[in-house]
């Protein structure tokens, strides 16, 4: 297990590499070039510049997140081949600089969704990301986009880049009538082209689950249950067609037994990376907030999760996922330094205990 941290680059993150380096046991990053639009090639120069800085800080950069898949690929439009060619160039460029895992998703339009990015937690005065289906009921897609942008403390949020959402209404219209099977067919076309390249250059693609783990706005979503992930693995059978199990995303839906899902795919060699965080279910339907990582502060069993990783995919890259905003920090919602650092330390502690108890 390598403990890693998400970092958005020196111009887009309030957290500094030198601070990440000081978190005990931190080996490297899950990196991200947040200024790249979906479909654009990540050039060698841009990648080198980012990764050189990471290395200079004494950290590794073997995982990259959010190489976003262009909507034309998901929609299966004739223009998709050009964007797949670009994606392949990006894979090759990242491999040249030592990247081994690329985390991405195949969700139409919305990467993730919350109804409040800074919901107060009355018990301790902190705040966290929050979702209440009731609140969403009154909001259309355009409203939620505007609200999310307004609540993001001036940062552009991953998956909510303005250029991706500029043509929102047109894009939503184009998805009308697309069934999950049609989306999977387009997904297979994409995988059939990129996975052989990944095998050649030693990169594993890691698909991130839908967040939250159910369909929204009538869009097809095909990555939020064990069954659906089995179908994704079968679309192109290769260890390079792998998963990033995000415990908070999958765990937002009580139908998912997260430790058992990890064991299922870990045993099959299909987990390349893990996002580990906790959720707290609140009263009512599809109503939750993000919690600190500690098991007792949420509804997921972090010990069982780390034990499942230890037993079935001990080489996976792990990172603490979203944290609460604590200690008066101002930063990207979900991506402050303090609570994620506490999360990493806690997860490393669980790992040490599991390791020593196992010997």
Residues acting as catalytic residues: 208, 246, 275, 321-322, 335
Nearer to Mn ion, 93 or 253 (CB): 253
Specify the stretch interacting with Mn ion by CB under 5 A; choose among 137-145, 148-156, 271-279, 297-305.
Answer: 271-279
Compute φ and ψ for 117, nearest 5 degrees. Answer: -95, -10
Give the distance, in angstroms, between the CA of residue 193 and the centroid of all CA atoms in the same chain.
22
Specify the stretch interacting with Mn ion by CB under 5 A; choose among 62-70, 91-99, 320-328, 332-340.
Answer: 320-328
β-strands 204-207, 101-104: how paired? parallel
Q: How far is the CB of 335 from Mn ion (least distance, A)?
A: 11
Among 270, 275, 293, 324, which residue sits at the site for Mn ion (rule: CB under 5 A)?
Answer: 275
Specify the stretch interacting with Mn ion by CB under 5 A; choose among 95-103, 196-204, 266-274, 313-321.
Answer: 313-321
Nearer to Mn ion, 83 or 335 (CB): 335
Q: How far is the CB of 244 from Mn ion (least distance, A)?
A: 7
- Comparing C-alpha atoms, which of 217, 242, 218 is closest to residue 232? 242
Q: CA-CA distances (angstroms) from residue 279 to 246, 248, 290, 347?
A: 11, 6, 5, 15
Q: How far is the CB of 254 from Mn ion (least distance, A)?
A: 18
Nearer to Mn ion, 172 or 305 (CB): 305
Q: How far is the CB of 331 from Mn ion (least distance, A)?
A: 17
109 contacts Mn ion (rule: CB under 5 A): no
Q: How far apart are CA 88 and CA 130, in angstroms?
A: 36
Residues 6+ apart with CB under 8 A from 141: 109, 110, 168, 172, 217
Specify the stretch interacting with Mn ion by CB under 5 A; choose among 58-66, 319-327, 328-336, 345-353.
Answer: 319-327
Q: How far apart are CA 214 and CA 169, in angstroms?
A: 21
Q: What is the DSSP string of 15-34?
A: S-HHHHHTSTT--EEEE--T
Q: What x-and-dash track marks residues 222-251 binding Mn ion by CB under 5 A?
A: ------------------------x-----
* Residues binding Mn ion (CB under 5 A): 246, 275, 321
């Amino acid at each position: 297990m390598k403990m890693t941290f998400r970092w958005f680059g020196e111009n887009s993150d309030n957290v500094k590499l030198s601070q990440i380096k000081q978190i005990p046991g931190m080996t490297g990053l899950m990196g991200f070039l947040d200024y790249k639009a979906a479909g654009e090639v990540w050039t060698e120069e841009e990648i080198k510049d980012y990764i050189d800085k990471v290395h200079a800080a004494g950290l590794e950069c073997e995982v990259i997140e959010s190489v976003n898949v262009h909507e034309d690929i998901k929609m299966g439009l004739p223009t998709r081949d050009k964007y797949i060619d670009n994606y392949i160039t990006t894979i090759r460029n990242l491999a040249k600089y030592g990247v081994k895992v690329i985390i991405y998703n195949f969700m139409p339009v919305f990467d993730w969704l919350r109804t409040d990015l800074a919901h107060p937690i009355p018990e301790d005065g902190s705040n966290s990301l929050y979702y209440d289906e009731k609140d969403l009921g009154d909001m259309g897609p355009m409203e939620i986009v505007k609200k999310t942008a307004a609540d993001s403390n001036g940062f552009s949020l991953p998956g909510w880049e303005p250029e991706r959402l500029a043509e929102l209404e047109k894009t939503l219209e184009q998805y009308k009538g697309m069934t999950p099977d049609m989306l999977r067919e387009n997904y297979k076309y994409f995988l059939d082209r990129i996975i052989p390249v990944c095998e050649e250059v030693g990169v594993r693609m890691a698909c991130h689950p839908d967040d939250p783990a159910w369909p929204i706005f009538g869009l097809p979503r095909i990555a939020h249950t064990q069954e659906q992930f089995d179908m994704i693995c079968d679309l192109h059978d290769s260890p390079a067609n792998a998963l990033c199990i995000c415990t908070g995303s999958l765990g937002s839906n009580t139908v998912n037994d997260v430790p058992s899902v990890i064991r299922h795919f870990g045993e099959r060699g299909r987990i390349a990376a893990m996002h580990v965080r906790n959720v707290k279910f609140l009263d009512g339907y599809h109503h939750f907030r993000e919690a600190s990582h500690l098991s007792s502060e949420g509804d997921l069993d972090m010990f069982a999760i780390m034990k499942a990783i230890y037993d079935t995919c001990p080489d996976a890259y792990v990172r603490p996922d979203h944290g609460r905003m604590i200690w008066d920090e101002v930063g990207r919602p979900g991506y402050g330094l303090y609570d994620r650092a506490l999360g990493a330390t806690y997860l490393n502690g669980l790992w040490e205990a599991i390791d020593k108890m196992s010997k």
